[in-house]
A and B are shown apart, each in its own frame.
Chain A
């Protein structure tokens, strides 16, 4: 089925409308200009991908968007599409559609929402698809199914589990180069190495600002709410390699510096400092508002904003990108993640950890207890595994979540004495 420009135009208009509603929604806080710019950039990217003549590459979490930008294409990060869809409240019919197709309610809603959206044909159509073995099994599987349905090529990257083994970087770099060359063929143009090197430089620049922002967020009291910070997902955002990310991250640093200078705290008086692990509920801000607004317990940092890779070498783009991917602590044995969590606890003077565990996520859920126990052997920091859905609001119960958070806050208060 070929989608005609008229339909694409209607999809664009639909999303524009939803986005405008989203921007105008009442919030419990006044967002930073950088956060608003980030939100606009994400929507612009989505709208661009509907435009006639745009080349769109569907990607899963670990696929470096730098490669896609270097080809003049737009990355559609499918899990992120689900998050946006949930935020503008169009997910329930997408999930219903996926269930009607036979997808189990026990599986990940990020992926099921995209499957439902594809079934309803409300997604920008791909020119090619690229998935990786990380984070989870679902990605390569559904990408392959999409490739069959859209009759487009699917490229798969195997990210070695033994991220620290000597051979891992080369094995991944070779695959990244192969994917870049194959994607260029799909786009009908030669692969331009210089362009990728320029994009790597831009990615490096954004990295420097975001690292600085992460440093600034160590300040007590915290200059930024976790509620808005978590949406940056600095470790995995598809804005890496775009000029927007440089502008947004520079602005973020300026705003945080200004807040610190003026003594503006995200919550006052700051009672507790939390580390938030994994993603968030996208359908509302209630959990964060309750923690940060009601309990004055700021989410001082989030694992998804962690930047663990070193500056990339524009002269060796594939090797550098491979190193970037492999530096992610979610790869490999749980001890890697435990180590990083322990470091974040110290760096951000954390009082308690909330590890969000959506029902259908096998990757992060499966690590929760192991990291909790591993951490207990190293430090005494309360750790709460919060069962909560990221995308699907259909079973959300405000009271239940509040009761659980109250209980955890009591533990922290008791510990403080």
Chain B
């Protein structure tokens, strides 16, 4: 029944209000700024289809999720957006900013849309927070001009309150998965988080409350296989999670930017400088791109303990350097802490399903 709440109509509730949408790709982009501009933040999660035309701009040896986004832009799949914010979260993303601008400026692609850029440091200490605040205010000015709006401190505060509420509700939902028999699967959870990243926040909060009401009192039966953590590159769709769960394991927590990282921390609400508060929170997200491997390992280890996992699946997209370089270090740490790790390297969509299935199956059997 609770899944009905994810549908725009039905369940006896009003549909979400419609507003202009601004797309964004990285969770280091503060949604509050988009909301402050009176627009709806819309997370681009990828199309999960082969890429053809994007290779005319960027090399094939490139983060496949970035190539996928560019392909979508070229194919006109994002023409419903008023603009998109690309953040400097990786080499691939910052080049995507160039390619996307070129692609959208091509005359036969209709009215050119605005491609905004946000520079994001990899550190979260005072100087890097200051640099990020400056980058955020540059983005805000650019958006104000392009969209002909004013983003006021009050507007930002209101948006912070709204987004914090979403985070708190999603945190509550995630905690349900600590139970011995979680009331929702990893696949379901992924769907909820994706949906929350693409819909009006008040509407999302209202429905999340209803979902929680139902799931917090639900009694769950049935056997649960090995409890796994999924970590690594962004996943645009729940395909891999479904595959794992079909084989009898359960993904009970995921360190993914399309999963629990999205609501990892709250933004300080009563800060006299809302922009600084945003800068601090958005640099505190423990993603692999940040240059603080110790903090990241601490976060991953804590997550594994809190969710009582028995093994870890580390997923990397091909050519996604951040994860390719991080993997051996994190694997060693997990193994030393007693957690078996399985590496899965794949394209943006699962092509070598048979092979992945065999490996996951062997892994889950080994975990017993």
Name A residues whose Cβ lies closer than 8 Å to a Cβ of B.
Answer: 101-104, 106-108, 111, 131, 133, 136-138, 140-145, 147-148, 154, 156, 158, 160-162, 165, 167, 171, 174-175, 178, 333-335, 357, 359-360, 362-363, 365-370, 373
Contact = CB atoms under 8 A, between A and B. Distances in A.
Which 9 A-B residue pairings sit nearest by Cβ, starting from the closest? A102-B328, A158-B121, A140-B291, A366-B95, A362-B91, A104-B324, A144-B293, A161-B119, A141-B325
B209 interface: no
Given A156-B122, A156-B291, A158-B121, A145 B329 contact: yes
A104 B138 CA distance: 37
A119 to B, nearest CB: 10
B141 to A, nearest CB: 11
Interface string B220-259: 0000000000000000000000000000000000000000
A40 to B, nearest CB: 33
A174 B130 CA distance: 10
Contacts of B321: 107-108, 136-138, 141, 362
Interface string B243-279: 0000000000000000000000000000000000000
B105 to A, nearest CB: 11
A357 B58 CA distance: 12
Contacts of A142: 325
Residue among A156, A359, A362, A368 with most chain B CB within 10 A: A362
Contact of B128 (A143, A158, A335): A158
Contacts of A160: 119, 131, 135
Interface string B79-103: 0000000001011101101110110
A370 B102 contact: yes
Nearest to A175: B127
B345 interface: yes
A106 B61 contact: yes
A333 B105 CA distance: 15
Majority secondary structure of chain B interface residues (helix, strand, loop or mixed): helix
Given A141-B326, A161-B88, 5 more contacts: A136-B321, A141-B322, A160-B119, A359-B61, A366-B59
Interface of B: 56-59, 61-63, 88, 90-92, 94-95, 97-99, 101-102, 117, 119, 121-123, 127-128, 130-131, 134-135, 138, 288-289, 291-294, 316, 318-319, 321-322, 324-329, 331, 343, 345
A137 B95 contact: no
Nearest to A158: B121
A131 B291 contact: yes
Contacts of A367: 95, 98
B318 A106 contact: yes
A335 B61 CA distance: 22
23 contacts: A104-B345, A107-B321, A107-B325, A111-B325, A133-B122, A136-B91, A136-B321, A138-B325, A140-B291, A142-B325, A144-B293, A158-B121, A158-B122, A162-B135, A171-B134, A174-B127, A175-B128, A362-B63, A362-B319, A365-B61, A366-B92, A367-B95, A369-B56
A161 B56 CA distance: 24
Contacts of A178: 127
A79 to B, nearest CB: 14
Given A365-B61, A366-B91, A368-B59, A162 B119 contact: yes
Nearest to B293: A144
Contacts of A145: 293, 325-326, 329
Given A178-B127, A366-B92, A165 B326 contact: no
B353 to A, nearest CB: 21
Nearest to B319: A106
Given A131-B291, A158-B128, A160-B119, A366 B325 contact: no
B135 A370 contact: no
Contacts of B121: 133, 158
A101 B345 CA distance: 16
Contact of A103 (B98, B289, B292, B324): B324
Contacts of A131: 291
Nearest to A368: B59
B292 A144 contact: yes
B296 to A, nearest CB: 9
B193 to A, nearest CB: 25
A373 B322 CA distance: 28
Contact of A366 (B58, B134, B324, B326): B58
A162 B139 CA distance: 11
A111 B98 CA distance: 25
A273 to B, nearest CB: 27
A41 to B, nearest CB: 31
A107 B102 contact: no
Contacts of B331: 102
B127 A148 contact: no
Nearest to B119: A161
Contacts of B293: 141, 144-145, 147-148
A143 B138 contact: no
B152 to A, nearest CB: 22
A5 B209 CA distance: 65
Contact of A101 (B123, B134, B292, B328): B328
Contacts of A362: 61-63, 91-92, 95, 319, 321
